[in-house]
Amino acid sequence: MEYSGDYDGEVGVSSVHACFNILNSLSGVGILAIPYALASGGWISILFFILIGVTTWYTGLLLQRCLKLDPMIRSYPEIAEKAFGKKGGFLVSFFIYIELFLVATAILILEADNMYHMFPNAAIRFHECLILDKKHLFIVIASLIVIPTMWLEKQDFLSYISAGGILVSCILVASIFWIGAIENVGFKNKGVLVNWQGVPTAVSLYLVCYTAHPVFPTIYNSMKNKSHFPKILFISFALSSIIYGLMAIFGYLMYGEEVQSQITLNLPTHKVSAMIAISTTILSPLTKYALILSPIMEAIKTRLIQANYKSKSIRKLIGTGLVLGTILVALVVPLFGYVMSLIGALMTSCTSIVFPCVIYLKISKRYRRCLEFESVVLVVIIVMGLVLMVTGTYSTIVGIIDHL
In a domain, 373, yes or no: yes
Q: In which band, very low, low, confident or very high, does the pLDDT at 286 lie, cut at 50, 70 and 90?
A: confident
* pLDDT of 4 above 60: no
Beta-bridge mates of residue 124? 132
In a domain, 10, yes or no: no
In a domain, 159, yes or no: yes
**In this prediction, what percent of the chain has a pLDDT beyond 90?**
62
Q: How many CA atoms lie within 13 A of 124 on its CB side?
A: 9
Q: How many CA atoms lie within 13 A of 4 on its CB side?
A: 25
In a domain, 42, yes or no: yes
* pLDDT at position 1: 55
* pLDDT at position 5: 44
Q: Span 11-31, mean pLDDT?
A: 87
Q: Span 275-288, mean pLDDT?
A: 87
What's the mean per-residue pLDDT of the chain? 88
pLDDT in tens, 251-269: 999 999 999 999 999 998 8
pLDDT in tens, 156-172: 566 666 567 788 899 99
Number of domains in the chain: 1
* pLDDT of 127 above 70: no
* pLDDT of 325 above 70: yes
Highest mean pLDDT pick, 213-222, 273-282, 342-351: 342-351
In a domain, 4, yes or no: no
* pLDDT of 154 above 50: yes
Q: Span 91-111, mean pLDDT?
A: 95
Picking from 31-35, 201-205, 306-310, 383-387, which range would have the lowest pLDDT averaged per residue?
A: 306-310
* pLDDT at position 245: 97
* pLDDT of 383 above 50: yes
CATH code for the domain in which residue 195 is found: 1.20.1740.10
Q: Which domain holds residue 138?
A: 15-403
In a domain, 63, yes or no: yes
pTM: 0.91
In a domain, 3, yes or no: no
pLDDT in tens, 199-226: 999 999 999 999 999 999 989 998 999 9
